[in-house]
Amino acid sequence: LYWLWISVGASLALTRPALFQTVTREMFPIGLFIILMSMGFTLSRKDFADVLKTPAPVLGGVALQYSVMPLAGFLVAKVSGMSGPMAAGLILVACCPGGAASNVVTQVAGGDVALSVVLTSC
């Protein structure tokens, strides 16, 4: 039902934005906390043990995170003609794990959330 709540929330935000005008900047960390905790409650120690039993996806994910992603950042910086400092910043950001957003998208897509969390922490 997680996907349903996200769909309903997104639909309301698009069709009735006035409902969300009371949301303040201070509420974002609280909302993020609620989202991440509710996602975390769906995981068990067994989920993480299963991820660690098969290290190939973790090793592959880490290798791709620190090879393909920086290369993609470099290519975007080159094609768009960014200056040196801006290009360096883009490449560094491209190296960063996906974080909370990738974990939530993995949850919604029905992927391996424990693997996503492990890759985010690497």
Taking each helix axis from N to C terminus, what angle separates 55-65 and 45-53, rounded to the nearest 10 degrees?
80
Task: Flag whether pLDDT at 87 surpasses 90.
Answer: yes
Residues near 62 by beta carbon (within 8 Å), at least 6 away in sequence: 119, 122
Burial code (b: 16+ CB inside 10 Å, e: under 16) for 77-106 equals beeeebeeeebeebbeebeebeeeebbbeb
pLDDT the model gives residue 96: 81
More confident residue, 122 or 28: 28
The predicted-structure confidence for 4-24, as pLDDT tens digits, reads as follows 888 898 999 999 999 888 888
User: Looking at residues 56-70, what average pLDDT do you find?
Assistant: 91
Confidence at residue 4, expressed as pLDDT on a 0 to 100 scale: 86
Quick check: 48 and 118 in contact, CB under 8 A?
Answer: yes
pLDDT at 27: 87
Three-state DSSP at 51 gives helix
Per residue in 24-46, pLDDT (tens digit) is 888 888 988 888 888 888 889 99
Provide the pLDDT for residue 75. 95
Least confident residue range of 17-21, 76-80, 93-97: 93-97
What lies within 8 Å, CB to CB, of 86 at 6+ separation is 77
Counting every residue, how long is the chain?
122
pLDDT at position 31, please? Answer: 85
